Chain A
């Protein structure tokens, strides 16, 4: 089984109190305190050839430049390649506003937080990288159907409403799309079969709290972590990676009484924890090398239309005296301010990196933002791996990546802003890129085919000398020298019968041809001189003995009989005799002479 090692750790990245919070727009968006700490959870896997560092951040998102900066600084401080570092945000809506920078005027405080957080993460990763343990990886997969919901509801008139907006439940006919039921776990076990670390992948917006009570929190992930620690011990580091959650949240439109509270986050987190535990119980061991790919790609940015420009100007004027304050969603004025900011940017393309890792029948691939669930499901369908994690919000924050049809349906995720900035076709472009640049590359590494014709190679397998030496040693040790000699006689009588017959007819040239041929095939220097009555063969070493000794083998005490007995047997019933004039048992240096018996030398 392929040996794997892992290192794990975590570092608190909780922002200071009164930090600007993400995930919703409020008049006073400063946090009022900390409910539970935010972490960067660290898991490094290596098979001694490839080292992959996974960093899961309890943040709403991380911009590409921030990710690249942290990766490069980790690479500088450690032996981990920047390209082999995978970073993602869990997308908690109750953390600092690191992802979208929705608020003007908060740049300085967020920049200061990001630098402080980066320093902590780089130091923690460097420390984690110092201590590895031999581990076994196991992958599990199950279906969870009662925790996540497609949040785009279809009304009887065909229009679409978000499940966090106002609607009459009797007016809803269903949702615009599916959910991703798959819960996938990659569990890491130490040599004592204790859970060492865990990567959990499930598709669900951590927007249960949305800054509830203005407190910093990991949202339901906090309770998932508590469940795992309670069940498996405090040594476990759990990384939660969100899936294609762009249009998936926890709100069941048929349950209008559903609360936004820590109790609700706990209910969901602990229930997910129980599902995780069941999934771990039904995991299979992964056996194989770590296959990895990291590819830089660009996606075209959406053009701001004339209509959007006019709307922006109109809203900024219309709402100039209005406060930006909304619990779910984004107020018009904030949209308008974001579009205004987007109008002055020079970039035409969004730069990011797509990554993928595979071991045995498990894989993960990354997406740069909040991708619609349909794209995640499509990638899973295209993947040859039995379990394929979709890790969203990885390596950058591109905003929402909706389906093309959603743009005509309307709704929260499609409105142009920093939160939705890629071209309408971005999802399809990304699925193709993930397929062609990530999955195809990984499966190319995972599946190797070699086809050879006999004529493609020359026949020279020197290890056969080792096998023959073992055969002779076994015979000698179990049955004695006589048996060894008898075997060599039997072999020579059978195999060299044609040569023996040629010698009986006096054809000494046949013997010369034979020796020249075998030494040429062995690619071994030898002196062969001959006339019509004799052949002399001199060598400084035996190719067989040289190979056996080089490979650390112990030579059979009577190895010289592969010369003496074999060639004497060839001469049986012929007019030739074989003389092994000298033989060095350590090197096989020797002089062999074949003489015509009736001729005086």
Chain B
């Protein structure tokens, strides 16, 4: 069994394995598959039904379960949901495993998984991965300004 507490290294090793099989392209194909299937009934459904609050519902559950160190702000007035990841449980665990090297672009999987779903639902996805080696990042999801041009007169 690979317990859920061992998933992160299994995941990282999986990325290496896919890259060996067919390069980065193959890995990205897998990420696309995972984004479609893994997040279909969770993040994707929540955002479709609840908008930004769906993001809040999804990540408040997953980040609490993953025991992350984070600050999460849902600001409906600004039309923005933001996660300040102060210690990513996933990257943090890989950094702490001294006998195993993480996949070299491990943090890219978050963007690959989340961005398509968020953008497909009409939101803007921004990230700051400049400190991701220290298991820190910022994800911002915001409402695109949608101006209505009046073409619907009777």
- Residues of B with C-beta under 8 A to A495: 6, 9-10, 13, 97, 100
- Residues of A with C-beta under 8 A to B64: 452, 456-457
A563 at the interface (CB under 8 A from B): yes
Q: With the chains together, A3 CA to B153 CA distance in Å?
A: 24
A490 at the interface (CB under 8 A from B): yes
Q: Do A490 and B148 touch (CB < 8 A)?
A: no
Q: Do B76 and A288 touch (CB < 8 A)?
A: yes
Q: Do B99 and A233 touch (CB < 8 A)?
A: no
Contact with A along B6-18 (1 / 0, CB 8 A): 1111110110110
- Residues of B with C-beta under 8 A to A461: 4, 7, 62, 65-66
Interface residues of B in 22-46 (CB under 8 A from A): 30, 33-34, 37-38, 41-42
Q: Do B14 and A491 touch (CB < 8 A)?
A: yes
Q: Do A467 and B34 touch (CB < 8 A)?
A: yes
Q: Do B149 and A281 touch (CB < 8 A)?
A: yes
Q: With the chains together, A483 CA to B33 CA distance in Å?
A: 18
Contact with B along A179-210 (1 / 0, CB 8 A): 00000000001000111000000000000000
Among B1, B8, B62, B73, the residue within 8 A (CB) of A543 is B1
Residue of B nearest to A385 (CB): B77
Residue of B nearest to A451 (CB): B71
Q: With the chains together, A490 CA to B10 CA distance in Å?
A: 9
Interface residues of A in 475-510 (CB under 8 A from B): 475, 479, 483, 486-487, 490-491, 494-495, 497-498
* Given A454-B68, A461-B66; A232-B51 close (CB under 8 Å): no
- Residues of B with C-beta under 8 A to A3: 49
Residue of B nearest to A363 (CB): B77
B132 at the interface (CB under 8 A from A): no
* Nearest CB on A from B15, distance (A): 10
Q: Do A194 and B152 touch (CB < 8 A)?
A: yes
Q: With the chains together, A69 CA to B42 CA distance in Å?
A: 44
- Residue of A138, A452, A455 with most partner-chain B CB within 10 A: A452
Q: Do B10 and A468 touch (CB < 8 A)?
A: yes
Q: Do B89 and A232 touch (CB < 8 A)?
A: no
- Residues of A with C-beta under 8 A to B37: 470
Q: Do B53 and A289 touch (CB < 8 A)?
A: yes
- Residues of A with C-beta under 8 A to B8: 464
Q: With the chains together, A291 CA to B75 CA distance in Å?
A: 13
Contact with A along B54-82 (1 / 0, CB 8 A): 00100010111111111111111111000
Q: With the chains together, A454 CA to B53 CA distance in Å?
A: 23
Contact with B along A105-131 (1 / 0, CB 8 A): 000000000000000000000000000
B146 at the interface (CB under 8 A from A): yes
A143 at the interface (CB under 8 A from B): no
- Residues of B with C-beta under 8 A to A459: 5, 65-67, 89
Chain B contact patch, size range: 35 or more
Q: Do B11 and A471 touch (CB < 8 A)?
A: yes
* Nearest CB on B from A72, distance (A): 31
- Residues of B with C-beta under 8 A to A285: 143, 146, 148
Q: With the chains together, A578 CA to B121 CA distance in Å?
A: 48
* Nearest CB on B from A50, distance (A): 12
* Nearest CB on B from A213, distance (A): 32
* Given A384-B77, A452-B69, A522-B4; A490-B153 close (CB under 8 Å): no
Q: Do B2 and A566 touch (CB < 8 A)?
A: yes
Q: Do A468 and B2 touch (CB < 8 A)?
A: yes
Contact with B along A433-475 (1 / 0, CB 8 A): 0000000000100111111111111111111111110110011
B130 at the interface (CB under 8 A from A): no
Q: Do A138 and B148 touch (CB < 8 A)?
A: yes
* Nearest CB on A from B76, distance (A): 4
Q: Do B100 and A360 touch (CB < 8 A)?
A: no
B104 at the interface (CB under 8 A from A): no
Residue of B nearest to A386 (CB): B77
- Residues of A with C-beta under 8 A to B21: 479, 483
A322 at the interface (CB under 8 A from B): no
Contact with A along B123-154 (1 / 0, CB 8 A): 00000000000000000000101111110111
Among A277, A443, A466, A588, the residue within 8 A (CB) of B77 is A443
* Nearest CB on A from B25, distance (A): 13
- Residues of B with C-beta under 8 A to A66: none
* Nearest CB on B from A600, distance (A): 28
Interface residues of A in 10-48 (CB under 8 A from B): none
Q: With the chains together, A230 CA to B154 CA distance in Å?
A: 8
Q: Do A522 and B3 touch (CB < 8 A)?
A: yes
Residue of A nearest to B70 (CB): A452
* Nearest CB on A from B61, distance (A): 9
* Nearest CB on A from B46, distance (A): 11
Q: With the chains together, A446 CA to B76 CA distance in Å?
A: 5
Residue of A nearest to B98 (CB): A498
* Nearest CB on A from B53, distance (A): 6
Among A283, A486, A544, the residue within 8 A (CB) of B2 is A544
Residue of B nearest to A443 (CB): B77
* Given A232-B153, A468-B7, A495-B9; A454-B69 close (CB under 8 Å): yes
- Residues of B with C-beta under 8 A to A281: 148-150
Q: Do A470 and B34 touch (CB < 8 A)?
A: yes
- Residues of B with C-beta under 8 A to A133: none
- Residues of B with C-beta under 8 A to A189: 152
Among B14, B49, B66, B152, the residue within 8 A (CB) of A487 is B14
- Residues of A with C-beta under 8 A to B71: 449-451
- Residues of A with C-beta under 8 A to B115: none
* Nearest CB on A from B24, distance (A): 16
Q: Do A447 and B73 touch (CB < 8 A)?
A: yes
* Nearest CB on A from B40, distance (A): 11
B122 at the interface (CB under 8 A from A): yes
Q: With the chains together, A456 CA to B11 CA distance in Å?
A: 25
- Residues of B with C-beta under 8 A to A519: 3
A87 at the interface (CB under 8 A from B): no
Beyond A448-B74, A495-B9, list 18 extra A-B contacts (CB 8 Å): A194-B152, A232-B153, A284-B146, A285-B148, A384-B77, A450-B56, A451-B71, A463-B4, A463-B62, A475-B17, A486-B17, A490-B16, A491-B13, A491-B14, A495-B97, A518-B5, A521-B5, A562-B1
15 contacts between A and B (CB under 8 A): A231-B153, A285-B146, A289-B76, A360-B79, A449-B73, A452-B64, A454-B68, A459-B66, A463-B38, A463-B42, A464-B7, A468-B10, A471-B11, A490-B17, A494-B13
- Listed from nearest, the 3 A-B pairs whose CB atoms lie closest are A464-B7, A2-B51, A281-B150
